[in-house]
Amino acid sequence: MDPKTTLWFAEQQKKDLDLWFTERQTKDMKISVRVKKTLHQELTPFQSLAVLDTEQFGRMLTLDNIIQTTVKDEFVYHEMITHVALNTHAAPKKVLVIGGGDGGAVREIIKHQSVEKAVHCEIDGAVIEASRRFLPEISCAMDDPRVEIIVDDGIKHVQENKNTYDVIMVDSPDPIGPAVGLFSVSFYKDIFASLKEDGIFVAQTESPFFNRDLIPGLYRDISGIFPVTRLYLAVVPTYPGGLWTFTMGSKKYDPLEVDISGIPQLDTKYYSPDMHRACFVLPPFVKELLVQQG
């Protein structure tokens, strides 16, 4: 081929290179994100892991081809899984995150001055390493002296640590693979035992549109164990349907009784004292899930 033609082909190829990551969010729905570059891919002992640089959301972590977090929208999820419970507890000192390998939850936890220790128990060390390397703005608190990282199964960790934590957050993936047990009644009972007498637990509990078969059962299980159970909402653009649920189980404090005028100023972009209230206002189609027998 003459050099001119070769150059033409190279230019054409550059134009045509149109790479997309596609997550099958439900059996009948997919989300696709244009990929600038694949930064990392590996098969860990637990799952397939990838870090992609995308046009729309910046760097993105996927596990088993499911979007876990992106640098553009991670703040919503990480602020909402942490600050609602931390500002409901009177003085959280010892906090546990189960899962959450990217480190975003831990980054938010250490914004609270009362917190003396944030234990981060993630089953897959490769998620921690990839996040350190490719997602520094999310994993940046991992080396904070108040943070302790444990690479282990969170189910085992709560079984072995009774009456230890003020707040426990379950930052899990969808209920598949090593995370199935993180949605079980026996795990919630172990969490109850791992919390101190006024402890609070919060978990991400999936989509109110697409997980309508899962949420009623989870809510019933949690409210069968914790005296106060509350479900709240946030909007995370990369999760199926965007609208996302979190469920809180509390031994004593009620997030609805918090005096929001006393919530300290935090450096946040989604959570605020007003959002602390507003997130518990549920549309009827979500309220309906809480009275169903799961």
So which residues are the catalytic ones?
171
The contact pattern for ligand SAM, residues 132-161, with x = CB under 6 A and - = no contact, is ---------------------xxx------
Q: Coil, strand, or helix at residue 168?
A: strand
Distance CA(128)–CA(125), nearest Å, equals 5
Taking CB under 6 A as the rule, does residue 119 contact ligand SAM? no
State in angstroms the smallest separation of the CB of 182 from ligand SAM: 6
Exposed, middle or buried by CB within 10 Å (0-12, 13-18, 19+), for 70?
buried
Do strands 29-43 and 48-54 pair parallel, antiparallel, or not at all (unpaired)?
antiparallel
Taking CB under 6 A as the rule, does residue 51 contact ligand SAM? no
Distance CA(188)–CA(112), nearest Å, equals 25
For ligand SAM, give the closer residue by CB, 61 or 195.
61
Choice from 73, 79, 122, 190 touching ligand SAM (CB under 6 A): 122
Identify residues 59-98 at the interface with ligand SAM (CB under 6 A). 63, 68-69, 77, 98
CA distances from 63 to 12, 126, 150, 157, 183 (A): 33, 11, 20, 22, 18
**Residue whose structure tokens are 């518990």:** 280
Choice from 76, 118, 127, 158 touching ligand SAM (CB under 6 A): 127
User: Cα(first)–Cα(last) distance of the chain, in Å?
Assistant: 67
Segment near ligand SAM (CB under 6 A); pick from 16-24, 30-38, 166-174, 258-266: 166-174
For ligand SAM, give the closer residue by CB, 127 or 149.
127
For ligand SAM, give the closer residue by CB, 106 or 258.
106
State in angstroms the smallest separation of the CB of 190 from ligand SAM: 12
**225: nearest Cα among 203, 240, 258:** 203
Instruction: Count Cβ atoms below 10 Å from residue 60 Cβ, excluding itself.
Output: 26
The contact pattern for ligand SAM, residues 204-223, with x = CB under 6 A and - = no contact, is x-------------------
Max Cα separation, the chain? 78
Q: Could you list the residues that contact ligand SAM (CB under 6 A)?
A: 46, 63, 68-69, 77, 98-102, 121-124, 127, 153-155, 171-173, 178-179, 181-182, 204
